[in-house]
Amino acid sequence: MQPSTQIKICGLTTPEAIAAAAHAGASHVGLVHFEPSPRHLSLDQAARLRAHVPVDVKTVLLLVNADMELTARAIAQVKPDIVQFHGKESAEWIKLVREKAGIETWKAIGVRDAQTLDNAARFEGAVDRLLLDAPPPSAQSVLPGGNGVGFDWSLLKNHQHRLPWGLAGGLGPDNVADAIIQTGTELVDASSGLESAPGVKDVDKIAAFCKAALAA
């Protein structure tokens, strides 16, 4: 029997949303510390929400191009299980954080073409997982992810993955099962597709997403 797909619900901002994700079967919850995002939490807010996450659910702290001081302070204050880097961080920088902090690290990659996937191999030995996401819709986009857009899953069809990976970008209750079937991903990550308004999670959509992903 194949293990169930892991599920990350990202951009949670309330204890109620965390409870809904955990109850629905999410394996990971994501807390965003990036001021331009409608899902942004201060480190104090993120630390308080962290306390609401059940012990069997992993907390992922999302940072974007954070400097050394902020990264260290965020890890110390929030105490996440995983740090997800979603900016232009280098493999060398992430490896240093992983070694110094002794923490699991993920790197989000905006997949534009097959070459992007090949280039992602440079993170081997630096990250524990790649998160394959859609690139920002335009050069003027403020957010590196969470834009509610997907990418061409056919790019993954014959790609030989050298690292554990997950799928993000435009996922919601209506397409997550198809995404899992088409790509064979072991982890799915959703944020804006589970909202009633930017930054406001819909508990019914969270439940429907998790149900569809686990059934697939």
Q: Is residue 1 part of a domain?
A: no
* Residue 74 falls inside a structural domain: yes
pLDDT per position as a tens digit, 51-99: 999 999 999 999 999 999 999 999 999 999 999 999 999 999 999 999 9
Name the residue range of residue 30's domain.
Answer: 6-215
Kindly indicate the confidence band of residue 1, based on its pLDDT and cuts at 50, 70 and 90: very low
Q: Which residue in 34, 39, 2, 68 sits closest to 190, CA to CA?
A: 39
The 10 Å Cβ neighbour count of residue 46 is 23
Residue 189's CB is within 10 A of a number of other CB atoms, namely: 27
Question: Given this model, what pLDDT does residue 105 score?
Answer: 98
Asked if the structure places residue 50 within a domain, the reply is yes
pTM passes above 0.95? no
Whether 135 maps to a domain, the answer reads yes
Q: State how many domains the chain has.
A: 1
pLDDT tens figures, 141-175: 555 555 566 788 999 988 889 899 999 999 999 99
**For residue range 102-111, what is the model confidence (pLDDT) as tens digits?**
999 999 999 9
User: Bigger pLDDT: 139 or 49?
Assistant: 49
